[in-house]
Structure 1
Amino acid sequence: MATVELLTSEVVVPAEETPAGAVWMSNLDLAARRGYTPTVYFYRADGKPGFFAGDALKDSLARALVAFYPLAGRLGLDDTGRVQIDCTGEGAVFVTARSDYVLDNLMNEFVPCNEMRDLFVPATPAPNPPCALLFVQVTYLRCGGVVLGLAVHHSVVDARSAAHFVETWASIARGSTGDAPVLPCFDHKLLSARPTRAVLYDHPEYKPDPTPVHPVTASTYESAIITLTKAQVIALKARCAGASTFRAVVALVWQCACRARSLPPDAETRLHSMIDMRARLAPPLPSGYFGNAVIRTSALATVGEVVANPVDYAARRLLAATSQGDDYARSLVDYLEDVDAMNLPRSGISRAHLRAISWMGMSLHDSDFGWGVPVFMGPALMYYSGFVYVMQAPGKDGAVALALSLEPETMPEFRKVFTEELARLEL
């Protein structure tokens, strides 16, 4: 593995004066993982002068922080000890580095893991008040390419909000003359609990697993990136009539993981997922809602049911679990009002389970800072075994990339059975 040398580290403040005060955080913000989400964007050198020049990036970042001013603040506490965002305008951390990696070699070696995160994403402090919310690292590769690494505090943003910020920053950097980016909305009171709370559902995803099967820890995983071609995706969706790309792909991953783990047929397996509730609420949240607007949900079955049935069985179970609407979300927000957010389960899942996240809506074309779109974008590490991200494959219209982690002893068998299933799709 190549090395990275840090060159500079400074703080970038908003280009103009920004509102002071505090941003109240919803129960969904408090229920999110208390930590930073590290992501990486790989860019190939385009031969133009000023490619990812540090001064240009800092200037555009400072201007982006005017609209997204909470990201220039710090995590804080109100008088009752509730976490909030203190809009101090102190700024975001901006680091430059250089590496002897060549982009093509890096892409061949890269899998989300602690080592890659440490190379290409800035070091972050303990994610508790007071702490900075945004860290940026620009790493210049030996071949002229660049890795842009970000760490954003998850209590402040979900994936869609993080993408909204990056897309706005990129638009400013390239001097876009198109439509103005959507302005962010920081009114988290839109997701406050109701005066008369009504918890109508059980919400097991926010409770500890009552029957863990071979619990795993954050240090015991092997990760991989696997690409499904457009033809494979089309064939898989044909077997899962009516299923979205995300649901069809995850259904196959669930089935293959159950086989590879060699679990007893009567063991329960839970497929955890997340639903973006912005458009599902009544009324919908503003399109620029900036915060956490996703809820956990899950599909439960036995290993025997997932393995013995055609893949559309798992897809239908996932569809039922991810079709929740306003009443479910409001029930969850009300439930969380009486729960200590620090005691919510966040430290991993049982070896029988998976957690799948869709990044299908994160367009790589919107991450063009003026020197072309990234050739790859994805998570810099996986948090524990059983994590799955489903993403659009760069430069391959209709293809899908999976970033996933499994137990080291499971991954070889999973690769084998997953490859076999993909081959059957093409018959």
Structure 2
Amino acid sequence: MTSLSSFPSLLFTVQRRQPELVAPATPTPHEVKPLSDIDDQEGLRFHIPMFHVYQHKASMEGKDPVKVIRDALSRTLVFYYPFAGRIRERHGRKLVVDCTGEGALFIEADADVTLDQLRGSLQPPFPCSQELLYNVPGSDGIINCPLLLIQVTRFECGGFIFAIRVNHTMVDGSGVKQFVTALTDMAQGAHQPSILPIWQRELLFARNPPQITCNHREYDQQLPINTKDGTIISSYENDMTQRSFFFGPTEIASLRRLVPSHHGHCTRFELITACIWCCRTKALQLAPEDEVRMMCIVNARDRFNPKIPIGYYGNVIAYPAAVTAVKKLCENPFGYAVELIKKVKAEVTEEYVRSVADLMVTKGRPLFTTVGSFIVSNLTRFGFRELDFGWGNALYAGVAKGGVGSGFHGVTFLMDHQNENGEEGVLFPIYLPSNAMERFEKELGDMIGGEWGP
């Protein structure tokens, strides 16, 4: 039996103080810094919300997490001062950071429950999530808005939730980990971050002249929307549901057995991603001739020569697309989907990323193709649960929800997680129309050979 979260019914009250701007602790340079041509593409112009849940720790008695983290933020922003600025848009939709020193948004809050009362709900969809990360009116734009929003909510048990929302044009998953690591360093008394930040966004500027040298199916021209397409899901907008699923060692082993040995070694990411893609496609009941694409977020830092320097916190990612027909995906053996995913992951090289940057300036920084598309981002390698403000490892650390922004639900994130039985595995949240979610659960059970239950 594998855990599944349905929408939590627990309601509680969160009392918030007025949002405040936390500025760098000492004066910082006032300058304008351009983002890279990977950073400012349309597909990254949204905010990433994340929750980190910490329980009470006896040795921290008398320490207020709000004060500790607020003070750490002020000192961290001295080193990461672009986060205290605001993004402006220039000619050609080019984004730059105006380092004004205005500061990041910070909210102090208290909840009238204990973390124990939330057991089983400490994963997406979180109960009262809008209260745990309050969307300050006018703060969630990309241009001329704060780049960071942090809310620290104390619980009656002495535990707390550190919630952060960050503008994706500034950082990728690796960059978020680096910034929050700096926060934890400063919270524990360090005088500077253990990894000093490096800006150098010119490393990923487009070439002059730009040269699109690779095939980028992820940016194919948008196709007419099939009314049964479940990716935009506009016709289902008021009937969407979100649930989280947990894959432990048993489920991973079941998937491995579905892939013949001649396919070679398959990573856990490839197996889970192929499984979600197949089951989701079947659940959405798309037309057999429809084209579907799976985009895998690939961290390309190690694929550069010389490598991108340690400390660089901008986006160094690509999301190549595996493309096939619904009929082929659903009727071929499982290894077919796995091989498609392995192939596109391997396509990401330094040249591929530079070709993306050149495509951006050539074609007006387009959005990725959304029709028939699903995106999987692997956060399991970043160790978010190990980020320690002084209260130990997090009970949960990862995204606050599936999907991105307000309009595209076809994204999931794989996160390392320990379930209530103490079993280590991978958790992922997924959005689907309600009737499709029921079919998705059944398809998972059929593929893995088990049942999904609460």
C-alpha RMSD of the superposition: 2.6
Structure 2 residue 23 is the aligned partner of structure 1 residue 13? yes
- Against the structure 1 CA distance between its residues 181 and 235, is the aligned structure 2 distance closer, same or farther, given a 3 Å change threshold? farther
Q: State the one-letter code of the partner of 1:10.
A: E
CA gap of 1:206–1:79, structure 2 versus 1, over 3 A, is: closer
Q: Given the alignment of the two structures, is residue 206 of structure 1 paired with residue 219 of structure 2, yes or no?
A: yes
What's the offset of the Cα at 1:211? Answer: 4.2
Contact 2:322 2:344 in 1 (8 A): yes
Q: Residues 162-187 of structure 1, C-alpha deviation per residue, up to 9 Å, x if partnerless?
A: 1110111112212369x962212111
Is contact 1:13-1:91 (8 Å) kept? yes
- What's the counterpart of residue 332 of structure 1? 356
Match for residue 97 of structure 2 among 70, 76, 85:
85
Secondary structure at the counterpart of residue 353 of structure 2: helix
2:166 aligned residue: 152
Cα gap change, 1:115/1:77 in structure 2, threshold over 3 Å: closer, same or farther?
A: farther
Equivalent residue, structure 2, for 1:184 = 197
Residue matched to 1:317: 340
Which residue number in structure 1 is paired with residue 3 of structure 2? none
Distance in 2 (CA, whole Å) between partners of 1:6 and 1:55 is 15
Counterpart in the other structure of 2:7 = none
Greater alpha carbon shift after TM alignment, 398-407 vs 156-165 = 398-407
- Does the alignment pair 1:403 with 2:429? yes
CA distance in structure 2 between the partners assigned to 1:110 and 1:180 by the alignment: 29
Aligned pairs for 1:27-426 within 5 A: 27-31=37-41, 32-47=43-58, 48-78=60-90, 82-109=94-121, 112=124, 116-124=128-136, 125-175=139-189, 181-213=194-226, 214=229, 215-217=232-234, 221-237=240-256, 239-240=258-259, 241-323=264-346, 324-341=348-365, 343-345=366-368, 349-350=370-371, 352-381=372-401, 382-383=403-404, 384-394=408-418, 398-423=424-449
1-structure distance, mates of 2:162, 2:319: 29
Distance 1:345 1:306 in 2: 21
Deviation at 1:111, TM superposition (A): 5.5
Instruction: State the Cα distance separating 1:85 from its structure 2 match.
Output: 0.7
Query: CA 1:14–1:394 in 2, change beyond 3 Å: closer, same or farther?
Result: farther
Calculate percent identity across the aligned residue pairs. Answer: 25
Shift of 1:332: 1.3
TM superposition shift of 1:222: 1.5
CA distance in 2, matches of 1:174, 1:230: 35
Alpha-carbon distance between aligned partners in 1 of 2:80 and 2:62, rounded to the nearest angstrom: 26
Amino acid at match of 2:204: L
Cα offset for 1:296? 2.1
1:38-66 deviation digits (Å, cap 9, x = unpaired): 11111111233135432221111112112
Q: Distance in 2 between matches of 1:209 and 1:78?
A: 25
Separation of aligned partners in 2, 1:248 and 1:328: 24
Aligned length: 420
Give the letter for the 1:216 counterpart.
Answer: I
2-side partners of 1:79 and 1:306: how far apart? 42
